[in-house]
Amino acid sequence: MEYATLGNSGVEVSEVGFGAWVVGTDWWGDRTREDAVEMVQHALEEDVTFFDTGDVYGHGDSEEIIGEALAEHRDEVTVSTKIGYDFYNNPQAGHGELPKKITPEWVHTAVDRSLDRLGMDHVELLMLHNANVDEVDEDVLEALDELREEGKVEAIGWALGPSIGWLAEGDAAVANEFDALQTVFNLFEQTPGQHFIDTIREQNADTSVLARVPHSSGLLNEQVTPETELGKGDHRSHRPSEWYETGWEKVEEIRFLERDGERTMGQAAIQWLLYNDEVASVTPTFRTNADIDEWAGAPDTPPLSDEEYDRVQDLYRDNFGIDRDDGMDALRSSVGGADLEDTGMKSAGD
């Protein structure tokens, strides 16, 4: 495992992190609480030290599980949580989005409740969860600074939808010198991640990128194949069938990344992301201990060569030679799409 620092915050993260959404809900398969705790601890045994949760995941369950699993290892780990949804006063309707609440008062209240569930006096990273750009005003920014001054938070981040809103939001995070920016980013879905890498470079900013959905909802780890039947509760089933059908063809075009067995496709997908210095950590969706064993080992596989990376980018620009719709053309932003006009950007889904 390799490690990186978020911006100039001094907060260190493992290059492969643990996305704790998976242990807070049943959207990625059923497991007992004991199984979930054991899974988190197994990740730590495999040198994963960055654990990324959120208050809305299982309406607090994920935070409680993370807190229980890491209670005896607090000094060894970096913990991140997210706030921004009022699940306390609103029921969850399937996979629908809950009402957001991002005010200075709520920021303080939500953090205190999260710390109570985690059983911790601070978190290394706090991220605003899918916050719209117009919700993060000077008063909210001041509240975030207050949390740092109080020692409850070390670094600040902004987690993007992106189908809920991302372009104006991510640009604002970089402009306001947030330490971390989390977004969907993978070899098949390079927007918006590549945009933010370009922006960070152009502005010589210190913001680090945290890449989620690195395996493009099961395509790049080959856990969703033509024979796979996704259950109704599986979060990946929201993607159109055309997405997977074109994706399977794309996978065949990048087999060279496996290097005759030196990397699995799932490991290669992570190494493609880590090729970019701005990417501090990747948070794949671990469903089993076998996933942890494989993907936590990705940084130990050969890094992508310049030639391999350039070959992937050439394929991406040509849509991997596929000339038909993948069903993912629709993309909206929290500001009604105005920030996307004339950009020519393609879609990226949750």
Distance CA(328)–CA(236), nearest Å, equals 14
Q: What is the rounded average pLDDT of the residues 131-150?
A: 96
> pLDDT band at residue 245, thresholds of 50, 70 and 90?
confident
pLDDT in tens, 16-28: 999 998 886 655 5
Please give the full DSSP string across 83-105, using - where no structure is assigned.
E-B--SSS---TTPPPPB---HH
Strands in 279-283's sheet, in edge-to-edge order, are 18-19, 50-52, 78-83, 123-129, 153-159, 180-184, 208-212, 279-283
> pLDDT band at residue 338, thresholds of 50, 70 and 90?
low
pLDDT in tens, 114-123: 999 999 999 9
- pLDDT at position 340 over 70: no
Query: Containing H/E element for 159?
Result: strand 153-159
User: How would you class 32 by CB atoms within 10 Å of its CB: exposed for 0-12, middle for 13-18, buried for 19 or more?
Assistant: exposed
Residue 150: helix, strand or coil by DSSP? coil
- pLDDT at position 336 over 60: no
Pick from 224, 20, 253, 47: nearest CA to 118:
20
Pick from 79, 217, 74: nearest CA to 157:
79
Q: What is the rounded average pLDDT of the residues 182-209?
A: 95
Q: What is the rounded average pLDDT of the residues 120-131?
A: 97
Q: Residues 189, 219: contact at Cβ < 8 Å?
A: no
Question: Using alpha carbons only, what angle is made at residue 284 by residues 41 and 57, rounded to the nearest 5 degrees?
Answer: 70
Q: Tokens 């719709």 map to which residue?
A: 325
What the chain holds in terms of domains, given with CATH numbers, is: 3-347 (3.20.20.100)
> According to the model, what pLDDT value does residue 115 have?
98
Cα-based torsion angle of the residue sequence 72, 78, 84, 88 in order, rounded to the nearest 10 degrees: -10
- pLDDT at position 347 over 60: no
Instruction: Confirm whether pTM is higher than 0.85.
Output: yes
- pLDDT at position 239 over 80: no
Distance CA(305)–CA(203), nearest Å, equals 26
Q: Which two tokens stand for residue 13?
A: 């993260």
pLDDT in tens, 203-233: 999 999 999 999 998 889 987 766 667 666 5
Please give the full DSSP string across 3-65, using - where no structure is assigned.
EEE-TTS--EEESB-EEGGGGTSSTT----HHHHHHHHHHHHHTT--EEE--TTTTTTHHHHH
Q: Residues 220, 266: contact at Cβ < 8 Å?
A: yes
> According to the model, what pLDDT value does residue 304 have?
97
- pLDDT at position 45 over 70: yes
pLDDT in tens, 61-109: 999 999 999 999 999 999 999 999 888 887 765 556 788 899 999 999 9
Q: Residues 146, 108: contact at Cβ < 8 Å?
A: yes
